[in-house]
């Protein structure tokens, strides 16, 4: 069995970095199951004082294994073990734009971009067609997108994406950021910022972006689309087509107030999910999956799981605490994935 060693990215966040080897181990197992490589063997290891992930794949699936490992949330470099030495392996990354698209925005309440990537990966792995993640056809929806970490991540991976957030300041900050970023990187694009209206009623604002990595792609119409709807996620009627999304990924409110949010922004994720989940279920394709990141202090895992079942989702069972980690004294973070049959 060929053995690969994944050099784990040095993370900016010290607390998250300590949890990374076990998180990325669980992420690799989830992706391997989704990609049909169930016999993979994964374990964190240390070589020369540096943490790596050691991964053994059956011979005939070694190439598939490389594609999978290249797209882990925290891969820095990849090697193949050759006796006592390590040979570099070319990464097969999906990223199409400079990495600052995902990393440059810094604000209180931002979801760590590696965690967002991990959430997207394990959620996509649970869908009926996990390889859409790699071929650019996965349709991503973040129904509480904040200032757009998921939007930027999906764009960088060549995917189409829609986000919803009620906070006007988040919407305006994202709109200003993405327009400036697209201009500064001289990418051919359109950006339309207008009122969000249905049936003569104003529901908020909407930003629609079309972009392509090259002028030629843009001219040929090979564009990616990102939309941000600044409205209440518990009322999506008439805004998104039924069964149009492959994955829903979102970082739910933590019950910790970041900055000055208005009264309508829910602080308890369970109350909010109770009123929003049926609308989210409607827009998800059959065979699609939902991945929620949440704070166990304010949303017990079992209650969240029950709530998902009550709204027609089937939670994916796995190792109970595989993704659980402490962010700070008030946040005990975890994720839960469920599928729509
Ligand atoms: C943990 S934050 C998401 C942060 C985001 N992932 C980012 O990196 O910027 C949760 C978001 O839920 C949003 N939210 C809370 N209640 C909402 C509602 N009723 N409709 C839409 N968004 C809501 C908040 O405005 C907040 O931005």
Question: Could you list the pLDDT tens digit for every one of the 341 residues in the chain?
Answer: 899 999 998 775 666 778 888 999 999 999 999 999 988 999 999 999 888 999 999 888 888 899 999 999 999 999 999 998 999 999 999 999 999 999 999 999 999 999 999 999 999 999 999 999 999 999 999 999 999 999 999 999 999 999 999 999 999 999 999 999 999 999 999 999 999 999 999 999 999 999 999 999 999 999 999 999 999 999 999 999 999 999 999 999 987 555 444 445 556 899 999 999 999 999 999 999 999 999 999 999 999 999 999 999 999 988 889 999 999 899 999 999 999 99
In a shared domain, residues 186 and 57? no
Compute, in degrees rounded to 10, the torsion defined by CA atoms 214, 193, 100, 156.
-50
Could you tell me if 229 and 261 are in contact, meaning their C-beta atoms sit under 8 angstroms apart? no
Q: How many domains does the chain have?
A: 2
Task: Indicate the residue among 66, 89, 112 that finishes a domain.
Answer: 89
Instruction: Tell me what percent of the chain is helix, strand and coil, each rounded to the nearest 5.
Output: 30, 30, 35
> How many other C-beta atoms can be found within 10 angstroms of the C-beta atom of residue 331?
17
Enclosing domain of residue 241: 100-340
Question: Could you tell me the CATH number of the domain that includes residue 68?
Answer: 3.30.70
In a shared domain, residues 56 and 133? no
In a shared domain, residues 159 and 219? yes
Task: Indicate the residue among 89, 116, 146 that finishes a domain.
Answer: 89
- Give the integer Cα–Cα distance in Å for 238 and 132: 26
pLDDT given at position 257: 54
- Give the integer Cα–Cα distance in Å for 105 and 153: 12
- Give the integer Cα–Cα distance in Å for 18 and 116: 17
* Residue having the nearest C-alpha atom to atom 4 of ligand 1: 146
Q: Does the residue 51 lie in any domain? A: yes
In a shared domain, residues 253 and 124? yes
* Helix boundaries (H) for 193-291: 215-219, 269-283
Question: Could you tell me the CATH number of the domain that includes residue 107?
Answer: 3.40.50.150
pLDDT given at position 83: 92
Atom of ligand 1 nearest to the CA of 107: 9
In a shared domain, residues 32 and 136? no
In a shared domain, residues 108 and 241? yes
Task: Indicate the residue among 69, 89, 109 that finishes a domain.
Answer: 89
- Give the integer Cα–Cα distance in Å for 204 and 232: 8
Q: Give residue 109's region: left, alpha or beta (phi > 0; psi -120 to 50).
A: left
CA of 333 to the centre of ligand 1 (A): 16
In a shared domain, residues 173 and 274? yes
Q: Does the residue 94 lie in any domain? A: no
In a shared domain, residues 284 and 240? yes
Q: What residues line ligand 1, using a CB cutoff of 6 Å? A: 109-111, 144-147, 149, 164-167, 170, 232-234, 251, 253-254, 265-266, 272
Pocket residue to mutate for ligand 1, from 153, 166, 271, most atoms within 8 A of Cβ? 166
Q: Does the residue 95 lie in any domain? A: no
In a shared domain, residues 161 and 300? yes
Q: Which residues pair with 77 in a beta bridge?
A: 7
Its sign, for the CA torsion 235, 139, 252, 196, is negative
Atom of ligand 1 nearest to the CA of 167: 25
Task: Collapse the DSSP code of 203 into the 3-class scheme (helix H, G, I; strand E, B; otherwise coil) and give the result.
Answer: strand
- In residues, how long is the chain? 341
- Give the integer Cα–Cα distance in Å for 280 and 297: 24
Q: Which residues pair with 337 in a beta bridge?
A: 291
Atom of ligand 1 nearest to the CA of 170: 27
Half-sphere exposure of residue 148, counting CA atoms within 13 Å on the CB side? 31
pLDDT given at position 38: 84
Edge-to-edge strand ranges of the sheet holding 41-47: 41-47, 50-56, 3-8, 75-82, 85-89
In a shared domain, residues 61 and 139? no
Compute, in degrees rounded to 10, the torsion defined by CA atoms 232, 237, 239, 244.
110
């Amino acid at each position: 069995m060929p053995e690969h060693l994944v050099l784990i990215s040095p993370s900016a966040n010290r607390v998250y970095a300590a949890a990374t080897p076990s998180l990325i181990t669980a992420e690799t197992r989830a992706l391997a199951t989704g990609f049909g490589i169930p016999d993979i063997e994964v374990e964190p290891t240390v070589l020369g004082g540096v943490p790596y992930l050691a991964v053994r794949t059956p011979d005939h699936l070694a190439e598939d294994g490389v594609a999978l490992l290249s797209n882990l949330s925290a891969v820095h470099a990849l090697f193949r073990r050759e006796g006592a030495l390590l040979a570099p392996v070319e990464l097969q990354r999906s990223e199409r734009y400079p990495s600052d698209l995902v990393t440059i925005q810094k604000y209180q309440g931002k979801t760590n971009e590696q965690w967002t990537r991990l959430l997207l990966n394990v959620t996509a792995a649970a869908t009926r067609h996990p390889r859409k993640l790699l071929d650019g056809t996965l349709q991503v929806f973040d129904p509480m997108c904040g200032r757009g970490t998921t939007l930027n991540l999906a764009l960088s991976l060549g995917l189409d994406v829609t986000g919803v957030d009620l906070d006007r300041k988040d919407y305006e900050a994202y709109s200003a950021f993405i327009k400036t970023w697209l201009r500064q990187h001289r990418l051919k694009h359109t950006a339309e910022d207008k009122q969000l209206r249905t049936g003569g009623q104003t529901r908020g604002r909407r930003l629609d972006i079309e972009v392509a990595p090259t002028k030629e792609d843009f001219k040929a119409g090979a564009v990616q689309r990102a939309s941000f709807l600044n409205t209440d996620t518990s009322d999506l009627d008439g805004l998104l087509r039924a069964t149009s999304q492959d994955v829903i990924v979102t970082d739910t409110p933590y019950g910790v107030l970041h900055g000055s949010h208005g009264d309508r922004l829910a602080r308890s994720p369970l109350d909010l999910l109770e009123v929003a989940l049926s609308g989210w279920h409607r827009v998800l394709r059959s065979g699609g999956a939902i991945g929620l990141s949440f704070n166990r202090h304010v949303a017990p895992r079992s209650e969240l799981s029950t709530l998902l079942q009550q709204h027609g989702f089937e939670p994916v069972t796995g190792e109970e605490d595989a993704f659980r980690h402490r962010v700070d004294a008030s946040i005990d973070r975890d994720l839960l994935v469920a599928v729509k049959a």
